[in-house]
Structure formats: structure tokens, C-alpha cells
Amino acid sequence: MDNSMLMKNLSLVLSALCLAFGAQGVWAEGNGSTVTGAALYHTHCASCHGDTGRGDGMVGAALRTPPPDLTGLTQKNNGVFPEAMVSEFIDGTRDVIAHGPRAMPVWGLMFQNRETIHKIVEYVRGLQRG
């Protein structure tokens, strides 16, 4: 394995560990009941999807399949924000190859709570561009 591949794999492992430890902190705050959608997004999603949702997160740059730009979802759906579809991507009922299989999505059991999922969906709704 060449040096650049080793560094890429190391950065992915370190990012995953950061996400895991960040998840514990957010989970500890009332299972997401007192946490904002922005905090949940930045803890669990921004590393791949980027701080502004454009798919330009640090981990996303190392992925074989780049994460999508979340800011154009409404535009791609004829001006209607696809709330149900976004919820299904988050809770794991809709397959996203990069997120892992439904039985064990990358976020584990973190996003089984409907209130938590709704907060993230509403945050992503707010990221939509004109």
C-alpha cells in the first residue's frame, strides 16, 4: 500500500473515531431531545457532507463515491423539499451505499428517534439554496 493510500485510510479511521466520540456526547444530552438539528448535523453529517451541505466535507473528499450536495434537493425535486426521502436516508430505511447496510448504517442506532431525525431533516431543509 502506498503512502497516500495509507494516509487516506488513517484519516478515515480517525474521522470515524471522532464521529463515534461526538455521537456519545450528543446522545448523552437527552437522546437528542435538547440538541438542535444544527448540532446533530455538524456532529454526524458535516464530516462527509460539509458544513454547508455542499458535499465538501473533509472525510467526503476521501470517499470513492463523493457525498451529494444537499443544498440542491429542493431544486432537483421541482421546488418541493423531499422530506420523506431525506428522513429515509437518515433512518436507514432507504439504501445509501456509503452509509452501509440497513441493519447497521454508519450511525448505528443514533437515528431511530423520530424527533432527532425530524430536527436534522429541518436543518437540511434550511440549507436549500434559492
pLDDT digits (tens, 9 = 90+) for 79-99: 999 999 999 888 888 877 777
C-alpha separations of 104 from 37, 50, 108 in Å: 22, 23, 6
Domain that holds residue 120: 3-126
Write out pLDDT tens, residues 20-72. Answer: 444 444 443 445 468 999 999 999 999 999 999 999 999 988 888 889 999 99
Regarding pTM above 0.95, the answer is no
Tell me the C-alpha distance between 5 and 8, whole Å.
Answer: 5
Q: Is residue 28 packed enough to be buried (19+ CB in 10 Å), middle (13-18) or exposed (0-12)?
A: exposed
How many domains does the structure of the chain reveal? 1
